[in-house]
Structure formats: C-alpha cells, structure tokens
Amino acid sequence: MSALLEKWNWTANFEQIKNILNLLLPKDKKEIILFIFLFSFYGFFGFMIAHGTSIQDYSLKQCDLYFSFDAGFIFHQGKSYQNSIHPLLKLFCVPIIYILDNITVLVGNYKIKTYILTMLCNFLISMSIIYVYRYLKEIVSLKGYIVYLLIVFYSIFFTNLILSFTTETYTISIFLLSFMVYYYSHCIVTNKQVRLLPNLIFTIILGGITITNSIKGIIPILFTKDKLHFIFRKIGIIAAILLIAAILYLFINNINLLNEVDTRLKYVSTEQNNTPYLEYIASFIGTPIIFSELYARTVQLEWISYPLQLIEVKFLNQVWQYIFISVLVLLLLISIIRNRHNKTVLLIASLFSVDILIHIILKYGASEPYIYGGHWIYVIPLLLGWLYSSLGNKWSKAYLILLTMMCIVLLINNTQSLLEFINLAKSHYPVDLRNIS
C-alpha cells in the first residue's frame, strides 16, 4: 500500500483528469460534422415525440408508459423508483429537474422542460456514438466506407433510437461506458498509465448510476500499463472505498441490506419466463438492436381511476429476425476469436461478460431484455470493426457487402417501427393543449 501511495502524484492525477475532460466533446471538424448529423437525425424524431405527444411528460409520476423504462420517475422527480440500484442518480438529475421545473413556471409552457430534456438525451446518445467513431478511427485504425457504415448501422439500433429521447439511467450509462472504453483502449495502445484518481472516478460514477456497472469501472485496470502487484493494490484501494461508500449509503438511507438482497433474488426468480433458452438469448441480444413488433397493453393501477395504455415491444418473433441476430452473433464470435490476443478486444469481451452473467446466466430482467442494451450495445460496432481489420482483401469485400445488406434491412425496419411508435404515442397520449401557452 505504501509503495502505491509513494507513486501518488497529485499533479499528474489532476492533469490526467483535465485531459479526460478535454476528450468529452468533438475534437475535430469531422467529429463536429458527424455530431451535427446525429443530433439532427435524433432531434427530428425527438421533436415529433416531444411536441406531438405527452408520453414523456404525462402527469402520472409513478408509471412508465413505454418499454418499462423509468422515464416518468426521472422526468418528474429526478430519481428512479429503485434508488438502491441507482444510488447517485439523484445527485445528477434532481438539480436539473429542479432548474427546469422553475424555468417552466417562469416561461409558462410545460413543454419547455420536455424539449430541453429531450435535447440532453439526444446529446448523450450522439456523443456516445462519436466515441465509437473515434475508437474505430484511432484504436482500430479504420478509415473510409467501413467506418461510416458501422456508425450508421449502430446509430439505428433500437436502444439508441429510444434512448435519444428517453430520460433514463441507460442514457447516461451508454455515454459513460462508450467514453470509458475509448479512453482505456487509447491508454492501452499508447502504453499510457491510467492514474488512480481517474480509475476511481470512472468506477464511482458508473456504479453510482447503476450499481452493477461498478465492476466495469474496475475491469479495465487489469489491462492497463502497470506492474501486476500495483494493479491489484489499486483495485484493493478502489474496492475498499466503494465498500465504505456503500455502508454509508445504506446507513444514511436506512436500507436493510438483507431485505434488499432478498428482494432482488425474488425479482430474479419471478422474472423467469417460459421462453426456450436459445430464444431468450436471441431476444436478449436482438431486441436492443431490432425494433420488434409493438403493441398496446391495458392496465388498471390501484391509485388511478382509469385504465392506462402501456406501449410494449415483443420478443423476436419473425424468422428474418433470428437469422439476422444469428449472423451478427457469429460475426462477433469470429471477431473475438481472430483477435483473442488483442488486449483491447479482450477488454471489450470482459465488459460484455458482466452483462452475460447478469442477464443470460442469472436471467435478471428476463421479461424485458430490450431495456438493458444501454449497458452493452457499444461492443457491437467495436467488435465488427476489429473483425474487418483482421480480414484479407477478398473476405473484407464480402464482409462489406454483408454489413451493407444488414444495415439496409435494419434501417427500413427500425425507422418504420419508430414511426409506428410515434403514431401509437400520439393516439394514446396526445398533447394536452390546455397546458400549452
């Protein structure tokens, strides 16, 4: 421990934090142009939803109206209904919600808050894609058509389309995870040491937004430049700080840990469904990518006197969807195998293994796998990029043709489904014109 503390350098730590902050925004002309394009693309659909429906700002504060997201809770209160899983979410969101609520009162138009929050979500998703673009250019060293093909393909994933206007923890998580993977990968390929303070900040913020992601802040430390005993000492310090913080959080909020664990275990057991395991795996991977069939479900809640129409999405249920996902999974596996000696690929695979453990092996959230894409879908364009870089000229051309075809299919399906979602939202949750001045 003392040896690690001797290596501590306040100046170097804060200098690295400063460098990290400088990388958060687009850093050249091409990234700025791409960001404007993405922000405009998502903004077009986001404005249609924010202006033409009330599904984001519906007056009910304790009900999620689409896809089981916590959007209603966060929009109105700045927190999730599962605060123990998202311990620091209030710290980020409550001040924003408070300021926007006051702006809404001053302006006299309740939609102002909706527009601003939609733009913030749009910003986070657009920037997360910029980090993927930067990764493909700088880490994988790709250029030209393949880079923009992968970006278009990734941009139209179900998760990105929905989170671009949804106030959710996943919107923040995908932004943070995409940046973290880029930054650590950059340090790995440039043989640059990552200091303890940045390691700690990544871990605390990721775990604070969603507690299970704290392990993802620790995993990259195993791949960075340092002697093995220093790496484990660093992990030990971070783990000790997290443990102390967790104990304080439980004490301050009067949370019974045993009861909380029991609640989570019951949730896992009740979430088990009768879907065949292979079909469930396909839906876990496929539904965050493919915008599947939509339907409206009527529910009657105890605390309101009228029925609600919840917009839901089905598991994969068409042959072409299973073929599409099977081909995609095969490509991802080939990429990992062909690049198995590459540290940055092993880092990506290790991060994805956390989600595989939680959602495929333990089947946590088995009834709604489509909502968890914000924790892992960034791995897909990265692995597809690494696969392209490992192919010879002949196979790379065939690969480009295959990816182009998959991109076209996904673009047609997902844009049509998004428009269908907008129409359902307009039908069931039209704008209350009395609240707009």
Tokens describing residue 122: 């749009």
Q: Is 365 left (phi over 0), alpha (psi -120 to 50) or beta?
A: left
Q: Give the bridge partners for 311, in sequence order.
A: 66, 296
Tens of pLDDT, residues 172-221: 999 999 999 999 999 999 998 888 899 999 999 999 898 889 999 999 99
Tokens describing residue 135: 């990764």
Cβ within 8 Å of residue 46, ≥6 positions away? 118, 119, 121, 122, 164, 165
State the residue for tokens 């949370």. 255
Q: What is the mean pLDDT of the chain?
A: 87
Tokens describing residue 233: 């000492």
Q: Is the pLDDT of residue 266 over 70?
A: no
Cβ within 8 Å of residue 225, ≥6 positions away? 187, 188, 191, 192, 193, 194
Q: Give the bridge partners for 66, in sequence order.
A: 311
Q: Of 18-32, 79-93, 289-303, 377-391, which gets the smallest average pLDDT? A: 79-93
**CA 6 to mean position of chain CA atoms:** 37
pLDDT, residue 436, reads: 42
Of the candidates 102, 138, 104, 122, which has an alpha carbon nearest to the alpha carbon of residue 47? Answer: 122
Tens of pLDDT, residues 19-30: 999 999 999 999
Q: At 268, is the pLDDT very low, low, confident or very high (cuts 50, 70, 90)?
A: low
Cβ within 8 Å of residue 369, ≥6 positions away? 280, 283, 284, 287, 288, 315, 359
Q: Is the pLDDT of residue 94 over 80?
A: yes
Q: At 437, is the pLDDT very low, low, confident or very high (cuts 50, 70, 90)?
A: very low
Q: Is the pLDDT of residue 253 over 80?
A: no
Q: Is the pLDDT of residue 70 over 60?
A: yes
**pTM listed for this prediction:** 0.92
pLDDT, residue 433, reads: 42
Q: At 366, is the pLDDT very low, low, confident or very high (cuts 50, 70, 90)?
A: confident
Amino acid occupying residue 131: Y
Q: At 278, is the pLDDT very low, low, confident or very high (cuts 50, 70, 90)?
A: confident
pLDDT, residue 271, reads: 52
Q: Is the pLDDT of residue 82 over 80?
A: no
